[in-house]
Amino acid sequence: MPQYCVHGLLLDSGFDIPELATGRTMQALDDTPVEMVMAELPSTINHHATTSDGYLVGDNEILIALDNGIRCHIEAGTRISIDPGGSDNEPAARLFALSAGLGCLLHQRRYLPLHCAAVDTAKGCVAFCGNAGDGKSTLAASFRTSGFKLFSDDRLTVHATKDHAYLAAPSIPALHLYEHAGAMAGLGNDHLAVDSYRFGKHIHLVPNAYSSHPSPMAGLYFTDWHEDEKAEPVIAPMGQLNAMMRLRRDVSLTHLIEPLGHEQHFMTWAAGLCGSLPAFHLVRPRNADRHEDCMNLIISHVRDTFGT
């Protein structure tokens, strides 16, 4: 049975996952392995809640069904079953299992993965949190071309160990980019894995761009677009309470926190994280012509604050 490591978790897979077969030696931070299998899945389960994204939440299980026929069943934080709904869907199904499937499993294990792009610096991992469409992947691609090692462009898992209360683990070594952003980052079809299952993005595998080791969390940026396309980008310090409020929105699959009964766990975790790290509010214009100027400011701020 193939074994892989991602998000600090060991995956025992009943099928090959070429997206994780990168040759990198990864450090597992959780001793309980995850079993991944291909299986025929039902269209529903006994559930007590349906999330805003249509996930069915039952007792120790979650079922996700996509319009293209892909289904994913996540059980008790230990097993992910994926039904591609047809052989043509298998590459997309694998990536969906590694993305939303693993995201659900992380929540079941009471991890709270950040919805962010993240980079490695001299002081540790720095995360750029935001909603879908906030340009996190484009930020990651720009940091990559500036010589930084990446941790994530979508979902980041933070572990607690005896040495570090908040230790970041690298995610899937891929960038999810719109075509123009991929071209801007110099990523052509030779890096292309598969079109994303949503948002019209393309998924580029870039294992050499990703860190292969965990790193302590060092800082948080919370991203927003400025309403005025001509406005200057601004980076300002953020207080603990405001950072906690934004973190509640910017947890990956945040709609699972309430139906899983993890609100109090989130508050305790977020208070510790946001009380331990410097946080900043990053506001920039949604203007492709201003991207280089914005990135120069952002990268300079990261280098001055956290080192390269």
Domain boundaries, the chain: 3-108, 114-306
What value does the mean pLDDT take over residues 270-278? 97
242 backbone dihedrals φ, ψ, rounded to 5° = -65, -40
Cα distance between residue 206 and residue 97, in whole Å? 19
Q: Which residues of 71-80 are buried (b: 16+ CB within 10 A; e: fewer)?
A: bbbbbebebb
Q: Calculate ∠ Cα 36-41-46, nearest 5°.
A: 105
pTM greater than 0.85:
yes
For 7, the token pair is 């998000």
pLDDT confidence of residue 113: 96
Mean per-residue pLDDT for 234-254? 96
Of 38-42, 135-139, 288-292, the range with the highest mean pLDDT is 38-42
Q: Please tell me the distance from the alpha carbon of residue 170 to that of residue 154, in angstroms, as a whole number.
A: 11
Mean pLDDT for 202-219 is 89
The pLDDT, as a whole number, for residue 196 is: 47
Q: Is 219's pLDDT higher than 60?
A: yes
Residue 283's pLDDT band (cuts 50, 70, 90): very high
Annotation: CATH topology of 114-306: Rossmann fold (3.40.50)
pLDDT band at 181 (very low <50, low <70, confident <90, very high): low
Mean pLDDT of the 136-165 span: 92
